[in-house]
Amino acid sequence: MKWNFTFWILVFCFQWGLTQVTWNTQIPYESADALSSVKQLIKTNDDGFLVLIKKATQDSMVITKEYILKYNSLGELEWEREYDFGEAVVYGDGASPSRVLQLNNGDFIIPGIFKKDGALNCYTHKVSNQSDSLFFTMSSFGTSNCILPRFYINFNLYATYTDVNSGITFLATLDEDFFSIVDEVSLGEIAGSNSILNEDLKFTLVRSSFSFPFQDTIRNFSPSGNLMYEEIYEDKEIGIHLGFSQQGNLTAYENALIQLNEDLTQKWKVEKEDLLFVPTNTSLIQTSTALLPTSDNGFILAGRFGSSSAPLSLEQIYLIKVDEFGQWEWGYVYDSFEMPFNHIADIVEVSDGYVFVGTSEATQEIWIVKINKNGTTAIENIQEQIFPSIQVFPNPVSDFVNINTSTNAEFEITVFSTVGKIMSSNIFYRNIELDTNKLEEGIYFLKITNKKSKESIQKKIVVQ
């Protein structure tokens, strides 16, 4: 843990005043490539969490293993276990990352692909809720049908696969014990890079073009396998981050936040710069990493900011909460003091907040973090109680920003860019007006320090 002892004393002192519990836990794994190691975070049936990691070791060759960690609702590790397949490299399940499904009885299903002796193999692994390996099945990729469980809906297990002889893709219902096919419907000769199945068993497939013209072809199938609708979206507007609203509308977050009608035509669209309050003509690079439909019919959007001139290790993460129409409710850019990582890999909702797993490109650490419903961390709650009266306005700002402390004390204020560059530093008493005319448009951080107590708080401003 990188936060000092003083911080945890503050957590103890103020925890009783918090209405919602937040926590953070470093996952006990060191990796040379943490960014691609984390595959999935799920909320378990007992209100805990399971994290799936692709674990690599370096001997005479790179051997990749399944690494699973089970946490309780307070972020405390209950068990961890590695599973390997000999000298094999676990890839995940093809077009999408490895995924974990939990059955109603508590068992976990993990599908994927591994390479051994030069040959690709599909596998499905069943693990108990106490980490015991229960069942494992595999088949040779390309010479037999690669049937990988992908969805668990209404207590039924589903897979999609393409027949190696006919080229026809099927949506199959699987037996939970041995993953054999119970029933299936034909979807025809189709291909796609991403797919999703809703509770009405309507299957949606997205095929993205990675060369000019860059576009997404999206198709929707009925439960009987009939093609119902097909639409083409330019500039890869659909992408890979998909989710259904509470009303069943497919929503995507890539280059924009877009929601579709039942016939796949556009219902509404919000451009990313309108969500992030960052002008498109800045040097900031914005990358979408996750989309989570929420219980109030809104969405959580996750991603990261970075500069085209700065390394990935200096990027910072953001979370944005929008309502059912994509309208902004709250949003935060978290710096390294608030979150010790710069990439959000996955996120789930709990009754009093959100839990997500993140990685650091700088330290190669992996963390699992709980935040409140309003997006604040324990650190931010503590800071607000230490500095209850500091006001920063207006925000966004064009020419000048005012900082009022309402405290008879001397302060130092330092302005940082998103890549950690100090833009200015000033000493003031009680309040100050900062000139922002020389700052380029974008996001900046204000570090305000009480000169006597040395306590600090950080604020974010947007210059436009």
pLDDT, tens only, 76-85: 999 999 887 6
pLDDT digits (tens, 9 = 90+) for 87-136: 555 655 433 335 799 999 999 999 887 777 777 788 888 999 999 999 98
Tell me the C-alpha to C-alpha distance, in Å, between residue 182 and each of 40, 249, 252, 334: 27, 29, 31, 47
Domain end point (choices 342, 362, 386):
386
> Average model confidence (pLDDT) for the chain?
80
Please give the structure tokens belonging to residue 392: 């920063």
Considering only residues 165 and 71, tell me which one the structure prediction assigns the higher pLDDT: 71
Q: What is the CATH number of the domain that holds 458?
A: 2.60.40.3080
Asked if residue 45 has pLDDT above 50, the reply is yes
Instruction: Indicate if 304 and 429 belong to the same structural domain.
Output: no
Instruction: Indicate if 425 and 341 belong to the same structural domain.
Output: no
Instruction: Indicate if 329 and 406 belong to the same structural domain.
Output: no
In this prediction, residue 9 has a pLDDT band, given cuts at 50, 70 and 90, of: very low
What pLDDT does residue 395 have?
86
Domain end point (choices 338, 367, 386):
386
Least Cα distance to 195 among 167, 171, 211, 223 occurs for 171
Q: What's at 309, amino acid-wise? A: S
What pLDDT does residue 175 have?
93
Instruction: Indicate if 376 and 407 belong to the same structural domain.
Output: no
pLDDT digits (tens, 9 = 90+) for 185-200: 999 887 777 889 988 8
Instruction: Indicate if 359 and 408 belong to the same structural domain.
Output: no
Query: DSSP letters along 112-125, please?
Result: EEEEETTEEEEEEE
Among 47-56, 328-337, 375-384, the minimum mean pLDDT is found in 375-384
Beta bridge partners, 43, equal 49
Instruction: Indicate if 399 and 375 belong to the same structural domain.
Output: no
Query: 416: how many CB neighbours lie within 10 A of its CB?
Result: 18
Instruction: Indicate if 24 and 139 belong to the same structural domain.
Output: yes
Please give the structure tokens belonging to residue 446: 């204000």
What is the count of structural domains for the chain?
2
Q: Using CA atoms, how far apart are residues 347 and 133, in angstroms rounded to an integer?
A: 26
User: Which stretches does DSSP call E strand in 189-264?
Assistant: 194-197, 203-208, 215-221, 227-234, 242-244, 250-253, 256-260
Instruction: Indicate if 151 and 44 belong to the same structural domain.
Output: yes
Instruction: Indicate if 338 and 378 belong to the same structural domain.
Output: yes
Instruction: Indicate if 339 and 434 belong to the same structural domain.
Output: no
In this prediction, residue 402 has a pLDDT band, given cuts at 50, 70 and 90, of: very high
> 396 preceded by cis ω (within 30°)?
yes
Instruction: Indicate if 331 and 395 belong to the same structural domain.
Output: no
Q: What is the CATH number of the domain that holds 153?
A: 2.130.10.10
What pLDDT does residue 313 have?
52
Single pTM value for the model: 0.76
**Domain around 447:** 391-463
Q: Using CA atoms, how far apart are residues 32 and 56, in angstroms rounded to an integer?
A: 9
Instruction: Indicate if 275 and 420 belong to the same structural domain.
Output: no
Domain end point (choices 368, 386, 404):
386
